[in-house]
Amino acid sequence: MNNEFLHKIPWQPLVFLWLAYAWLGWYLSAHDIAWLVGAFVAALVLAIAWRTIAGLERLIRFGSRALTVVLFLCASIALIATWSIFVTFLVLPLTTTLLAEMELRFSGFSKRDTFLLLTAIAGCGLAVGEAIDLILIPSSRY
């Protein structure tokens, strides 16, 4: 395996993305909400992230990489702390998707590879969240 390729992958944002979708998958499963909702949220977040890349590129040109990451993290923490649970389950995957998108683009991944990787991680996270509810920590069903 190409060792240089593994060093190029930004692992931390991808782990955050996976955790956000695993949490969403667990929440949907624990509250008996259909998988269709999880797929809808994932598709919505990926579509929004795909469309806002031009705005992010302008923001990246304006400030440094660290400033951009800090702004996104501060905004996501503020939104999570102040908004309802349903908005949190839209905002958290969106912010982590945007962070992972930026990091993958900085690492030199193409748009197609970035989209496929983000989609695979989102689907895997939803499945792991479902498995956690069904196997490891079953929620009370009734």
pTM: 0.65
Six-digit token string for 26: 């667990």
From first to last of the 142 residues of the chain, give the pLDDT tens digit: 455 555 678 888 889 989 988 888 888 887 777 666 777 777 777 777 766 666 666 656 665 666 667 777 777 777 666 667 766 677 788 888 888 888 888 888 888 888 889 889 988 998 898 888 888 877 765 4
CA distance 141 to 4: 47
CA distance 108 to 4: 13
**What confidence tens digit (pLDDT) does each residue in 61-79 have?**
665 666 667 777 777 777 6
Six-digit token string for 123: 């689907």
**What confidence tens digit (pLDDT) does each residue in 28-49 have?**
887 777 666 777 777 777 777 7
CB 120 within 8 A of CB 37: no
> How large is the angle between the packed helices 85-106 and 35-51, nearest 10 degrees?
50
Please give the biggest Cα pair distance in the chain.
52
| CA geometry: angle 120, 122, 125, nearest 5 deg | 105
CB 22 within 8 A of CB 126: yes
